[in-house]
């Protein structure tokens, strides 16, 4: 477990996932599907769709990079669904909050 945690701490990929789930565990995090899609980025996001050759561009319709955090915090096209983007020092607490709420549940 210590080696796994060390590797997870040093990994430069999946940083959003790391911010929400910073500690490795053999137990399921019990994350709702929507949270898994959000933190992994493996969903209907242009960045991911371009990576798997399903979309020609990685940009949102607004012109910015189309990743989950953009849609959830910055995009003018999804403004009514926004939540506040955390400052760097509060990212761990922000991840804890997301895990314990229905913010990402489809309404």
Per-residue pLDDT of the chain in tens (107 residues, 90 and over written 9): 999 899 988 887 767 677 777 888 887 667 778 888 888 889 999 999 999 999 999 999 999 999 998 999 999 999 998 887 767 776 677 667 666 655 544 44
- Give the 3-state secondary structure of residue 107: coil
- pTM tops 0.75, yes or no: no
Cβ-contact 58, 47 below 8 angstroms: yes
The Cα-based distances of 35 to 6, 54, 63, 82, 97 in angstroms read 24, 22, 25, 15, 11
Domain ranges of the chain: 26-99
């Amino acid at each position: 477990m210590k080696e796994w945690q060390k590797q997870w701490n040093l990994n430069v990929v999946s940083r959003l996932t790391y911010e929400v789930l910073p500690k490795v565990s053999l137990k399921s995090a019990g994350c709702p599907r929507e949270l898994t899609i959000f933190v992994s980025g493996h969903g209907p996001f242009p960045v991911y769709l371009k990576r798997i050759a399903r979309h020609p561009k990685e940009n949102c319709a607004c012109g910015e990079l189309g990743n989950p955090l953009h849609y959830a915090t910055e995009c003018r096209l999804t403004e009514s669904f926004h939540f506040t983007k955390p400052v760097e020092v509060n990212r761990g607490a922000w991840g804890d909050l997301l895990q314990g709420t229905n913010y990402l549940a489809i309404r």
